[in-house]
Chains A and B, each alone.
Chain A
Amino acid sequence: MNAKPLLKLDQVSCVRGGRLLFERLSLMLAPGGAALVTGPNGVGKSSLIRLAAGLLRPAGGHVGRVCALALADEGLALDPRLTLGRALGFWARIDGTRAEAGLEAMGLARLAQVPVRMLSAGQRKRATLARAIASGAPLWLLDEPANGLDGDGVERLASAMAGHRAKGGAILAASHLPLALDGAAIVALA
């Protein structure tokens, strides 16, 4: 592929709490591309996602991004007292988009009027994914996106990811559950 990569990790090393998690990891994501980070718990999957997001500094190497990114991780980041629609709307306003597309894609449209604190764990997970879908960012960073999702949720996630890649987006996902990412590069941390 000749297209300019959306995300480029060049010989990246990560040290957390004085412990080396991984070193000299290189990865490139072109438009339409995807990479799946696998490995047992505590091996540094989430740290890799946070490194790619720019929230952690690499101990060595270089992280390059050329576009806006959407992060869906363990952090709900929605005000519990607001309704789901308004809480997602806050982020959509910052992104300059509308939250409805994300709500629709994750099957949350009928929960838009429900306060965030009433949502179940699976619905919260859907909400974090809906925020990423609605953001319009070309690069998605998904940390355990399938955790807590039911069958319908996993299917919706798969179709959202396929649609995103078809539009030229790229996805970096970390998961210990199987994800429907056709042709994704596998990054196995051990």
Chain B
Amino acid sequence: MSALVLRELRLAATGGNASLPVIFFLLVATLFPFAVGPDAPLLARTGGGALWMAALLAALLPVDRLVEPDRASGVLDQLAVRGVSEEHVMLAKLAGHWLSFGPPLMLAAVPAAALMKLPREVLMRLELGLLAGTPGLAALTLIVAALTAGLRATGALAGLLMLPLAVPVLIFGAGLIEQGGNMGALKLLAAVSLLLVAMAPFAGGAAIRTARD
């Protein structure tokens, strides 16, 4: 199991899965103030929501590299004949994917918040929300990656599959950083995230087994 997680981390580090979401996230944070204009109060009010959208889309970026290469090259088959269940493989991939984009995104949120002129208190809520929400985003990406493995031109389909399911994460995440936003949003965000994380190994495993037939 740990060998599988380590392999995922190595693939993420060498294949660009780790750096790409962070670069994308910072890119949005850099461009958004240019688009909105140098109105500090407006930026502070809308910036948090923009960062949440960026985080969501950043999580989706490696969707075509999470499962499909392993399916195509036979890694999933080789693991299966060794008695490693698909659920275990998906759990390892979930851990690897989150570790490679969740914590880096939380780090990148600090300079991003500075670019958006977010007050310190909002930044704290954003970090809390990312901590609770990114596992859910990772799980969602993994489910979509497993469902679309083996199909052609999956980019648009992956987005269509993922976005409706990601809406609760976005709503509660953005709700948490609203002015005077209450901690109830954090609890709901964590609940949605937990549900997605719990579902991902089983949904992903079933998707891989179905793709074999």
Contacts and interface: CB of A to CB of B under 8 A. Distances in A.
Contacts of A56: 212-213
Interface residues of B, number: 20
A75 B212 contact: no
Looking at chain B's contact residues, is the secondary structure mostly helix, strand, loop, or mixed?
Answer: helix
Looking at chain A's contact residues, is the secondary structure mostly helix, strand, loop, or mixed?
Answer: loop
A81 B79 CA distance: 19
B179 interface: no
B14 A81 contact: yes
B74 A76 contact: yes
A75 B74 contact: yes
A79 B3 CA distance: 14
Interface residues of A, number: 24
B213 A57 contact: yes
A158 B77 CA distance: 25
Interface stretch (B80-88, B100-108, B142-150): B80-88
Contacts of A77: 73-75, 77-78
Contacts of A54: 80-81
Nearest to A16: B213
B11 A79 contact: yes
Contacts of B72: 75
B80 A55 contact: yes
A1 interface: no
A95 B81 CA distance: 11
Interface of B: 3, 7, 10-11, 14-15, 72-75, 77-84, 212-213
- By Cβ-Cβ distance, the 8 closest A-B pairs, closest first, are A75-B74, A77-B74, A77-B75, A77-B78, A71-B81, A53-B81, A77-B73, A76-B73
